[in-house]
Amino acid sequence: MKRVAFIIAMGAMVSFGVKASEPLSPEGPIVHLQDSIEIAPEDLPQAIKDTIDEKSDTKDLTISKAYQVTDKEGNVIYKVKFGVGSQSIERKYDAEGKILVEE
């Protein structure tokens, strides 16, 4: 009986197009990335360079890779990789230097 009720409920949700809301994170909006182009670290916007220099967890690290990425909405985001191998970390920034969260 529970199985029948569950199947009916699932069918109703599919029929009415119930849509899950966009996932949220305590750090900020979750970003879905699309097209990516590798760029030279020196070509990052100055606002991102300033944020990197201001943050204690990135200011002493070397940028190993940088990418200009377009998300699903057409917004430009910058993906920056610091270090190499298992010691590397990655951050995403908008053009104004704000740190973004990726799903």
Q: Domain ranges in the chain?
A: 23-102
**pLDDT over 90 percentage in the chain:** 49
Q: Tell the residue number behind the tokens 């298992």, with chain if given.
A: 86
**CA distances for 36 relative to 39, 79, 82, 100, angstroms:** 9, 9, 17, 16
Mean pLDDT value of segment 42-69: 95
The answer on pLDDT for 36 being more than 80 is yes
How much is the mean pLDDT over the chain? 79
- Report pLDDT for 21: 46
The class level of CATH for 23-102 reads alpha beta
Q: Is 26 helix (H, G, I), strand (E, B) or coil?
A: coil
